[in-house]
Structure 1
Amino acid sequence: MRPARFRSALVTLALSAAVAAGAQSQQAAQALLDEGKWQEAASVAAALNTAAGFALAAEATTAGAGLSPDNQKKALFERAQGYARQAIALDRNNADAYFELARAQGRLAQYSGILKSLGLAGDMKKNLDQALRLNPNMAGAYVALGLWNANLVSKGFVATQATGASRNQITPNFEKAIALEPDVAVHRIEYANALLLQKNRAGAAAQLQKAVSLPANTFWEKRDLEDAKARLASLQ
């Protein structure tokens, strides 16, 4: 019979190997997503059955919905929410999971009636706030909060009264995100979108001008860059 210390060492090695394999699979899923292969990325990530995996599957599915026909978007955003909720069920301290749930809710609200969209907006804000409580340096969550306020303010008095959205919370959230990640073009692109909702074409053009000067490496970054160039051209 093997000594207890030997058996313990074997268990430790097995656990280490499992963790390493999981990390490699997470990296493989991320690599697929970076290449634009969102369906494969979601499948690989969800199969890990981890909070990080489900959060990545939610991210991939929400991103993929942007490339899908309109009649498929709603179902994909709902699927992304499901992945995010599975991530939260496995780890209630996973900031990415709350952020991905909020992001999917925000996208779904665009395809819902006014009452449902306002309800989703409330849930989205709660989940963004929770993501930032868990990770105060999550730049994407500040971008989402900036857009949340900008979109609801643009809808008028009823929306702002129902949700607490404020024009004064738009710029500070975007400035925080850009301070945290100054070289991420999408933060400036979304800031431009928010400024356009406020009819600030000059401010939007300035943000887009900065965005097109930043590097684009992944499939999504290159897509954002082309969109920024086209939108900038339309403002000039």
Structure 2
Amino acid sequence: MRRFALTLALAVSVSASAQSQQAAQALYDQGKWQEAAASAAALNTSAGLALAAEATTVGASLVADSQKKALFTRAQEYAKAAIAKDRNNADGYFELARAQGRLAQFVGVFQSLGLAKDMKSNLDKAISLNAKMAGAYVALGLWNANLDTGGFKGAIAVQATGASEANVAPNFEKAIALEPGVAVHRIEYANALLVQGKKADAAAQLDKAVTLPAETFWQKRDLEQARATLAKLR
């Protein structure tokens, strides 16, 4: 009887945790990123902390630039805590890489190159744990595009990180093949193509992206920005 009670209590606990994770996800999908991050972090689970990292990183796009660095730093700590709780959580490594990529924009050159190397390592780890993680391939595509930009600065970045423009398209094509109905993959591909100066190719990706469905607050926001960018390219 005692074992049965213990098993029942554990099942209830797991179910409640799953429901709480879903509730935090729902808040995030509605655009309530601060509430979502707090709710997800309070679960103190690997999945919850990874979601807290995601909500904090993505939510930072809505605040003033002066507040972004602190938020990206916090997201990085959430992701590290997620990994500490589960070394096999691919989402934890992906969110750590994403936070590092954003944080690199707000630090000095040498520190940003160090973050870029760590970002690549964490993306590779995420893919080794989940080879079908489309978002990780998108991030790798952007990583290569943003580092191999040509000129003196680009040459330093390439030498330090091994980034290559040749790796941009294959990563985005892999992501789109895995999730053809996700607009943000094509939107980010367009952003990478714009970094390379390929405006016509970027417009072609955006033309496809704006025909895809958008359900969450973030998806709708992405499509609004895609339409605005597309209008400027016409």
Report the TM range for the smaller structure's normalisation. Answer: over 0.9
**Match in the other structure for 2:98:** 103
Counterparts of 1:1-236 in structure 2, within 5 Å, are: 6-154=1-149, 155-236=153-234
**Counterpart-to-counterpart distance in 2, 1:36 and 1:158:** 38
CA distance in 1, matches of 2:109, 2:203: 30
Which amino acid is the alignment partner of residue 15 of structure 1?
L
Partner of 2:106: helix, strand, or coil? coil
Structure 2: distance between partners of 1:129 and 1:77: 20
How far residue 167 of structure 1 moved from its aligned partner, in angstroms, is 1.0
3-state DSSP of counterpart to 1:182: coil
Runs of 4+ in 1 over 3 A off after TM superposition: none
| SS, match of residue 110 in structure 1 | helix
Compute the displacement of 1:156 (Å).
1.6
Aligned partners of 2:100, 2:7: CA distance in 1, in Å?
Answer: 40
Shift of residue 135, structure 1, vs aligned partner: 0.3
CA distance in 2: counterparts of 1:79 and 1:53, whole angstroms? 14
Give the TM-score normalised by structure 1.
0.97
Q: Which amino acid aligns with 1:234?
A: K
Note the residue ranges of structure 1 that are not aligned, 5 or more in a row. Answer: 1-5
- Superposition deviation, residue 146 in structure 1: 0.2
Residues in 2 aligned to 1:190 and 1:80: alpha-carbon distance in whole angstroms? 21
The residue matched to 1:46 in structure 2 has which SS?
Answer: helix
AA paired with 2:114? Answer: G
Provide the identity percentage.
72
Q: Once the 2 structures are TM-superposed, how far is the Cα of residue 131 of structure 1 from its aligned partner?
A: 0.3
In the comparison of the two structures, how many residue pairs are matched?
Answer: 231
Quick one: distance in 2 between partners of 1:140 and 1:224?
A: 15
**CA root-mean-square deviation:** 0.5
SS at match of 1:214: coil
Alpha-carbon distance in structure 1 between the residues aligned to 2:22 and 2:156:
44
Given residue 18 of structure 2, which amino acid in structure 1 is its aligned partner?
Answer: A
What secondary structure sits across from 2:63 in the alignment? coil
What SS class does the counterpart of residue 66 from structure 1 fall into?
helix
Name structure 2 gaps, 5 residues minimum. Answer: none
CA distance in 2, matches of 1:160, 1:233: 32
Post-superposition offset of 1:111: 1.2
CA distance in 1, matches of 2:217, 2:188: 17
What TM-score, normalized by structure 2, do the two folds share? 0.98
